[in-house]
Structure 1
Amino acid sequence: MQQVKLHDKTFEIYIPETEISAIVHSLATAINNSGVQKPLFIAVMNGAFLFAADIMRQITVANAEISFIKLSSYQGLESSGEVNELIGISEDISGRNIIVLEDIIDTGNTLVKITDLLKNKNIQSLKIVTLLCKNEAYDKDIPIDLIGKNIPNDFVVGYGLDYDEIGRNLPHIYKLKKEEKQC
């Protein structure tokens, strides 16, 4: 499937499934080799669910755990700029080594919200791992520890990423096809 139509938009393959697998493997290897002890992975839902499942299957660090947080800032193709916490962190995370798993970082607003939520929790360490980063759009001072792939500021769907809640199930990552101008 070279193109897919979601709602009223057409998307074309941007990152094939095989490349996604290689990126995930590379990130998992870096985490496994980092020396982190007893990490608690926090996956940002809904978008990071496939990424989190795939990376966790490759984590060999002893005593690794995973939890989830659900935040939302998108409406259709645009970020609303306001990040809402839909499901928060319920575990006691004090003294823990936290590894946040993000599907994509663009403006960084979600990342700011996550770090604010973790600020007074007395955690031992915080690492940010993202599958994709729109480095042109990212303008925050929060360091991203591991980036799978830097991408341009294009709208993407698939592999957990959505357009108005659809397209998450696609095995590849697709980008919005540029519309040809008509005379």
Structure 2
Amino acid sequence: MEEVTIKGLTFVPYLKEEEILKQVKRVASEIRRDLEPGDAPIFLCVLNGAFVFAADVFREVDVPESEITFIRFKSYEGTQSTGVVKQVMGLTESLEGRTVIIIEDIVDTGVTAQQLRATLKEQNPKSVKMATLLFKPQSLTTGQVPEYVGFEIPSKFIIGYGLDLDGQARGLRDIWVLKDKEK
């Protein structure tokens, strides 16, 4: 399959599943390396887009005492960030004194990351770090650079491996990029 069309937009292959899984293993290894002896980290998956990445990283970190929980923010409509972050589903677990690893699918402007870190710090965790599958440094407006990054990518719209276009395409195993318009 050389192209996929979702909601009238055409996407072409960008990152193959094998490349993604290699980076998942690397990111998990870095997280494991940075954990202190006795840490029982809590992984905070930002839904909906990060659920595939979070599951893969969580299993690869392989710390039996770790936990995973979920929070949901929304800042995209179609292919554009709205610039406004809405919390749709909140955190119910206590983070007091815990090592928190936020799992994001993509850090674009950093607005969601900034809001999330500020919210989490109110609960006095031991530490808060962020792992993201994809990071768009050229789009960053907040200085919220993740500690763990799978891939740095240009500011293009992508789908697959959990990332969507209005809820569709999350199940694609590879990552696809919006095809440039022909001139």
Give the TM-score of the pair, scaled to structure 1.
0.96
**Runs of 5+ unmatched residues, structure 2:** none
More helix by share: 2
Who is 2:46 aligned against? 44
Deviations 1:102-144 (A, max 9, x none): 0000011110121121121111101111110001001212341
- 2:5 counterpart letter in structure 1: K
Counterpart-to-counterpart distance in 2, 1:130 and 1:140: 16
Who is 1:16 aligned against? 16
Counterpart-to-counterpart distance in 2, 1:13 and 1:89: 35
Query: What aligned pairs does 1:32-71 form with structure 2 within 5 A after superposition?
Result: 32-36=32-36, 37-71=39-73
Secondary structure of 1:154 counterpart = coil
Counterpart-to-counterpart distance in 2, 1:179 and 1:85: 34
- 1:35 Cα offset (Å): 2.6
Who is 1:116 aligned against? 118
- 1:171 Cα offset (Å): 0.3
- 1:173 Cα offset (Å): 0.3
- Is the CA contact 2:11–2:178 (under 8 Å) kept in the aligned structure 1? yes
Counterpart-to-counterpart distance in 2, 1:90 and 1:35: 23
Secondary structure of 1:33 counterpart = helix
Counterpart-to-counterpart distance in 1, 2:161 and 2:111: 21
Kindly tell me the number of residue pairs found equivalent between the two proteins. 181
Deviations 1:37-93 (A, max 9, x none): 110000000000000111111112241110000000000010000000000110111
Q: CA RMSD in A?
A: 1.0
Bigger mean CA offset, 53-62 vs 130-139: 53-62
- Is the CA contact 2:110–2:143 (under 8 Å) kept in the aligned structure 1? no
Who is 2:161 aligned against? 159
- Is the CA contact 2:108–2:139 (under 8 Å) kept in the aligned structure 1? yes
Pair 1:143–1:134, CA change in 2 (3 A): closer
Structure 1 outlier segments of 4+, above 4 Å:
none
Who is 1:128 aligned against? 130
- 2:82 counterpart letter in structure 1: S
Counterpart-to-counterpart distance in 1, 2:7 and 2:51: 22
- 2:166 counterpart letter in structure 1: D
- Give the % identical residues: 40
Give the TM-score of the pair, scaled to structure 2.
0.96
Counterpart-to-counterpart distance in 2, 1:86 and 1:35: 30
